[in-house]
Structure 1
Amino acid sequence: MSNISTASLRSIRAPKQYLRRRTGACLIFVRWLVACFAAYLCWAAVPAAATPATPSTGVLEFLSGEIAFADKNEIPEAGWEKRQTPALWLSDEARAKLAGKLTAWGRFRFDGRLLPDEPLAIYTENNRERLTVYLNGVELFRNYRSATSQTLGWNRPYIIPVPQKLLRDVGNELVLRVGSDRQFSLGVGTVKVGSQEVLGRLYNYQQFWRVTGSAAANYAMLFLTFAAFVMWMARRSETEIFWLVMTGLLWFVRDFHFFAEESPLDPYWFQQVSYYSLYFAVAASLSFCVAFLKLSNHRRIIAMLFAIGVALCIFRVAITSTNRTDLATSLATLLVSLLVCGLIIREWFRNRSLESLALVAVVLFGTVLGLHDIGRIPNVNWWQGLGFHVQPFTGFLLFSVFLLSVGRKYLRALTEVETLNASLEERVETATHALAASERARQKIEVEHAVGIERERLMREMHDGIGSNLVTALAVVRKQGEAPVAEETLQRALTDLKLTVDSLAPVEGDAVALLANLRHRMEPDMEKAGVKCVWRVEPCPSLDWLDAPNALHMLRIIQEGVGNVLSHAHATSITIACCPSKKDGRDGVELVLTDDGCGFIAANVSGNGRGLSNMHTRASQLGADLRIESDLGAGSKLSLWLPVEMGGRKSARSTSG
Structure 2
Amino acid sequence: MQAALRFVLLAFAALWVGIAAAEGPSEPMLALRSGSVVSVVDGRTQEAAVTLPYHWDRMHQGRPGEARFTLPFRMAETPAEPWGLFIPRVGSAFDVALNGHVLQTYGDLARPHGADYAKAPIYLPIPAQLLHPGENLLQIRIRADSGRRAGLAVPTIGPAVPVRGSVFAPAYAWRFTGSVLLSAFSIVVGAISLGLWFTQADTAGAGRPRRESLYLWAALAEFCWALRVADGAIREPPLPWVAWGVLMTACYSGWAGSCLMFCQHLAGWQDRAGMQWLRRAVAVVFTVPVLACYVALTRAEPFWLTGWLALEIVAVTAYVLFFLGATLRRPTAARVLVASALALTLVVAVRDWVVIRVSDAYGDTTWVRYTSLFFGMALLGVVLMRFRDASAQSRDLLRTLAVRVADRERELASVYGHLERAAREQERTQERERILRDMHDGVGSHISSAIRQLQSGHASHPEVLRTLRDSLDQLKLSIDAIQLPPGDVQALLAGLRYRLEPRFASSGIALEWAVDELPLLPRLDAPLMRQLQFLLFEAVSNVLQHAQAGVLRIEAVVAGAAVRIRVVDDGVGFDAARVPRALAQRAEAIGATIAVQSRPGHTVVQVDFA
Is the aligned partner of 1:298 residue 2:275?
Answer: yes
3-state SS, counterpart of residue 29 of structure 2: strand
Percent sequence identity over aligned pairs: 15
In the alignment, the residues of structure 1 paired with residue 413 and residue 254 of structure 2 have an alpha-carbon distance, to the nearest angstrom, of: 66
Is the aligned partner of 1:264 residue 2:243?
Answer: no
Q: Partner letter of residue 99 of structure 2?
A: N
Q: Partner letter of residue 371 of structure 1?
A: V
3-state SS, counterpart of residue 340 of structure 2: helix
| Alignment partner, residue 190 of structure 2 | 225
Deviation at 1:368, TM superposition (A): 1.6
3-state SS, counterpart of residue 68 of structure 1: strand
| Alignment partner, residue 124 of structure 1 | 87
Q: Partner letter of residue 179 of structure 2?
A: S
The higher-RCO structure (CA 8 Å, 6+ apart) is: 2
| Alignment partner, residue 285 of structure 2 | 308
Choose from 302, 323, 328 the match for 1:344: 323
Contact 1:120–1:196 (8 Å) recurs in 2: yes
Change (3 A) 1:291 1:258: same
| Alignment partner, residue 252 of structure 2 | 278
In the alignment, the residues of structure 1 paired with residue 388 and residue 148 of structure 2 have an alpha-carbon distance, to the nearest angstrom, of: 50
Q: Partner letter of residue 375 of structure 1?
A: V
Change (3 A) 1:246 1:294: same
In the alignment, the residues of structure 1 paired with residue 388 and residue 57 of structure 2 have an alpha-carbon distance, to the nearest angstrom, of: 55
| Alignment partner, residue 553 of structure 2 | none
Q: Partner letter of residue 336 of structure 1?
A: A
| Alignment partner, residue 501 of structure 1 | none
Choose from 94, 99, 104 the match for 1:141: 104
Deviation at 1:378, TM superposition (A): 6.5
Change (3 A) 1:318 1:153: closer
| Alignment partner, residue 213 of structure 2 | 239
Is the aligned partner of 1:400 residue 2:374?
Answer: no
Q: Partner letter of residue 282 of structure 1?
A: A
Map 1:172-183 onto structure 2 (within 5 A).
172-181=136-145
CA RMSD after TM alignment: 4.7
Q: Partner letter of residue 400 of structure 1?
A: M
Contact 2:70–2:137 (8 Å) recurs in 1: no
Change (3 A) 1:67 1:236: farther
Change (3 A) 1:243 1:126: same
Is the aligned partner of 1:169 residue 2:133?
Answer: yes
Choose from 181, 189, 192 the match for 2:156: 192
3-state SS, counterpart of residue 91 of structure 2: coil
3-state SS, counterpart of residue 284 of structure 1: helix
Deviation string for 1:342-379 (max 9, x for gaps)? 22123323432211111211211111221222233265
| Alignment partner, residue 180 of structure 2 | 215
Deviation at 1:151, TM superposition (A): 1.6
TM-score, L = length of structure 2: 0.53
Choose from 48, 52, 66 the match for 1:102: 66
3-state SS, counterpart of residue 177 of structure 1: strand
In the alignment, the residues of structure 2 paired with residue 410 and residue 273 of structure 1 have an alpha-carbon distance, to the nearest angstrom, of: 32
In the alignment, the residues of structure 2 paired with residue 367 and residue 383 of structure 1 have an alpha-carbon distance, to the nearest angstrom, of: 22
Instruction: Kindly name which structure, 1 or 2, has the bigger radius of gyration based on alpha carbons.
Output: 1
Is the aligned partner of 1:372 residue 2:351?
Answer: yes
Q: Which runs of 5 or more structure 2 residues have no equivalent in the other structure?
A: 1-24, 202-208, 427-610
| Alignment partner, residue 57 of structure 1 | 26
In the alignment, the residues of structure 1 paired with residue 124 and residue 76 of structure 2 have an alpha-carbon distance, to the nearest angstrom, of: 16
3-state SS, counterpart of residue 54 of structure 2: coil
Map 1:448-527 onto structure 2 (within 5 A).
none
Deviation string for 1:206-256 (max 9, x for gaps)? 222212221222244235435544544556543333433432343345434
Change (3 A) 1:338 1:279: same
Q: Which runs of 5 or more structure 1 residues have no equivalent in the other structure?
A: 1-55, 73-77, 450-657
Map 1:552-591 onto structure 2 (within 5 A).
none
| Alignment partner, residue 55 of structure 2 | 88
In the alignment, the residues of structure 1 paired with residue 362 and residue 416 of structure 2 have an alpha-carbon distance, to the nearest angstrom, of: 84
Q: Partner letter of residue 120 of structure 1?
A: W
Change (3 A) 1:407 1:323: closer
Deviation string for 1:404-428 (max 9, x for gaps)? 1232133334544665676678778
TM-score, L = length of structure 1: 0.50
Is the aligned partner of 1:203 residue 2:168?
Answer: yes
Choose from 390, 395, 419 the match for 2:367: 390
Change (3 A) 1:252 1:431: closer
In the alignment, the residues of structure 2 paired with residue 167 and residue 266 of structure 1 have an alpha-carbon distance, to the nearest angstrom, of: 40
| Alignment partner, residue 468 of structure 1 | none
- 174-183 or 417-426, which deviates more: 417-426
The count of residues paired between Structure 1 and Structure 2 equals 395
